[in-house]
Amino acid sequence: MEKVYIFDTTLRDGEQAPGFSMTSEEKLQMALQLARLGVDVLEAGFAAASKGDYEAVKLIAQEVKGPVICSLARALEKDIDLAAEALAPAERKRIHTFIATSEIHMRYKLRMSPQDVLERAKRAVSYARRYTDDVEFSCEDATRSQREFLYRVIEEAIKAGATVINIPDTVGYSVPEEFAQLIEDIRNNVPNIDKVIISVHCHDDLGLAVANSLMAVKHGARQVECTINGIGERAGNAALEEVVMALKVRKDFFGDLYTSINTKEIYKTSRLLCRITGSFVQPNKAIVGDNAFSHESGIHQHGVLSNPLTYEIMNPEDVGFPSSRIILGKHSGRHALKKKLQQMGIEVSEAELERIFEKFKELADKKKEIYDEDLEALVYEEVMKLPDDQPVSVLHYQVQTGDKLLPTATVVIRYMGQERTATATGNGPVDAVIKAIQKALDLDTKLLDFSIKALTPNTDAQAEARLVIELDGVRSSGRGVDVDIIKASVVGFVDAVNRALLRKSYILSKDRIREEGTV
Residues that constitute the known binding site for Mn(2+): 13, 201, 203, 237
Q: Are 263 and 320 in contact (CB under 8 A)?
A: yes
Please, how many CA atoms are within 13 Å of residue 388, restricted to the half-sphere of its CB? 1
Cα–Cα distance, 382 to 372 (Å, whole number):
16
Please, how many CA atoms are within 13 Å of residue 308, restricted to the half-sphere of its CB? 8
For residue 8, give Cα distances in angstroms to 59, 238, 240, 492.
17, 10, 8, 29
Q: Which residues are annotated as a binding site?
A: 13, 201, 203, 237
Cα–Cα distance, 412 to 398 (Å, whole number):
9
Q: Are 238 and 210 in contact (CB under 8 A)?
A: yes
Cα–Cα distance, 309 to 303 (Å, whole number):
8
Consecutive H or E run containing 248: helix 240-249
The residue among 429, 426, 425 whose CA lies nearest residue 402 is: 429
Provide the Cα torsion 434, 435, 436, 440; round to 10°: 100
Q: Are 166 and 203 in contact (CB under 8 A)?
A: no
Backbone angles phi, psi at 194, to 5 degrees: -70, -10
Cα–Cα distance, 516 to 510 (Å, whole number):
10
Is 98 in a helix, a strand, or coil?
strand
The residue among 88, 8, 459, 511 whose CA lies nearest residue 272 is: 8
Q: Are 159 and 121 in contact (CB under 8 A)?
A: no
